[in-house]
């Protein structure tokens, strides 16, 4: 996926998170199936222009082509209106770690673990309660940034041909570093699962007393 496309996806996910909408709620607003929204946000499918327009409108966004020379001015205005969700410590940590993952991907572009990490962190950015796990995010980010520095150093060694080989073959990555990456992938997945599935406990309402005639009513339809 090219970065320009990822920027559009990040904007859509950030706007959805800022409004506190689930994918299912956004689906009801737009008529786009929730499964398709999920694929769009994960980069699993190319977004159609018609779908992009519908999603943008539902999220109070608008699409417009502007002259390239005007882009800096437009970007400046947009930055001034970005929802506060993008300025939280957790989001800043996520963005910082995503930058490290992008740098590692430049060294090892074919490494599936890096794609899994990138997708996992983008998914975390859409969760409203991610700020509650800032300590865990910083721990994972610290490990990834350490690997980024190591990967940058490895890419500097040897001839240009050797550098190219190192950048395209998983086998050239030290085993302990690959293991650390896989550990980070697992940590991100576990963190996301905890955030997605953790719901505030509520007592169940009292159940009515059991009656034999209830069974008869059920059987009669």
State the pLDDT at residue 205: 44
State the pLDDT at residue 155: 47
Domain end (from 26, 52, 82)? 82
The average confidence (pLDDT) of the chain is 75
CA distances from 18 to 21, 55, 168, 172 (A): 8, 14, 38, 41
Domain end (from 82, 117, 150)? 82
If you average pLDDT over residues 49-55, what whole number do you get?
91
Residue range of the domain that includes 192:
88-197
Residues 144, 108, single domain; the answer is yes
pLDDT of residue 114 exceeding 50: yes
State the pLDDT at residue 186: 92
pLDDT of residue 123 exceeding 90: no
State the pLDDT at residue 207: 43
19-41 pLDDT, tens per residue?
A: 778 888 899 999 999 999 988 88
pLDDT of residue 167 exceeding 60: no
CATH number of the CATH domain containing 120: 1.20.5
Q: Could you give the percent of the chain with pLDDT greater than 90? A: 15
The pLDDT-based confidence of 199 (bands split at 50, 70, 90) is very low
State the pLDDT at residue 34: 92
pTM of the complete model: 0.50
The pLDDT-based confidence of 198 (bands split at 50, 70, 90) is low
Residues 55, 123, single domain; the answer is no
Residues 112, 192, single domain; the answer is yes
pLDDT of residue 216 exceeding 50: no
Residues 133, 179, single domain; the answer is yes
If you average pLDDT over residues 142-164, what whole number do you get?
62
State the pLDDT at residue 217: 40
| 218 found inside a domain | no
Q: Between 108 and 82, whose confidence is greater?
A: 108
* Distance (Å, whole) CA 84 – CA 90: 12
Q: What angle do CA 94, 98, 104 make, to 5 degrees?
A: 150
If you average pLDDT over residues 137-145, what whole number do you get?
90
Q: Name the phi and psi angles at 217, rounded to 5.
A: -65, -40
State the pLDDT at residue 4: 60
Residues 57, 137, single domain; the answer is no
Radius of gyration of the chain (CA): 23
Query: Cα 52 from chain centroid?
Result: 18
Residues 14, 32, single domain; the answer is yes
Residues 122, 47, single domain; the answer is no
Mapped to the 3 state alphabet, what secondary structure does 59-121 carry? CCCCCCCCCHHHHHHHHHHHHCCCCHHHHCHHHHHHHHHHHHHHHHHHHCCCCHHHHHHHHHH
CATH number of the CATH domain containing 71: 1.10.260.40
């Amino acid at each position: 996926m090219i970065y320009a496309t990822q920027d559009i996806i990040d904007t859509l996910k950030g706007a959805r998170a800022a409004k506190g909408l689930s994918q299912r709620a956004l689906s009801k607003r737009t008529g786009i199936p929730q499964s398709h929204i999920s694929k769009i946000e994960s980069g699993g499918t190319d977004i159609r222009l018609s779908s992009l327009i519908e999603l943008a409108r539902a999220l109070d966004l608008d699409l417009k082509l502007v002259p390239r020379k005007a882009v800096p001015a437009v970007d400046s205005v947009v930055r001034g209106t970005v929802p506060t969700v993008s300025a939280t410590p957790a989001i800043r940590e996520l963005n910082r770690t995503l930058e490290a993952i992008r740098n590692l991907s430049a060294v090892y572009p074919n490494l599936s673990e890096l794609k899994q990490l990138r997708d996992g962190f983008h998914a975390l950015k859409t969760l409203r309660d991610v700020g509650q796990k800032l300590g865990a995010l910083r721990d994972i980010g610290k490990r990834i940034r350490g690997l980024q520095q190591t990967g940058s150093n490895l890419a500097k060694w040897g001839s240009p041909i050797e550098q190219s080989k190192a950048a395209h073959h998983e086998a050239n990555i030290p085993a302990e570093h690959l293991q650390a990456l896989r550990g980070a992938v697992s940590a991100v997945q576990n963190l996301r699962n905890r955030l997605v599935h953790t719901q505030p406990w509520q007592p169940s309402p009292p159940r009515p007393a059991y009656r034999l005639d209830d069974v008869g009513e059920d059987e009669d339809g």
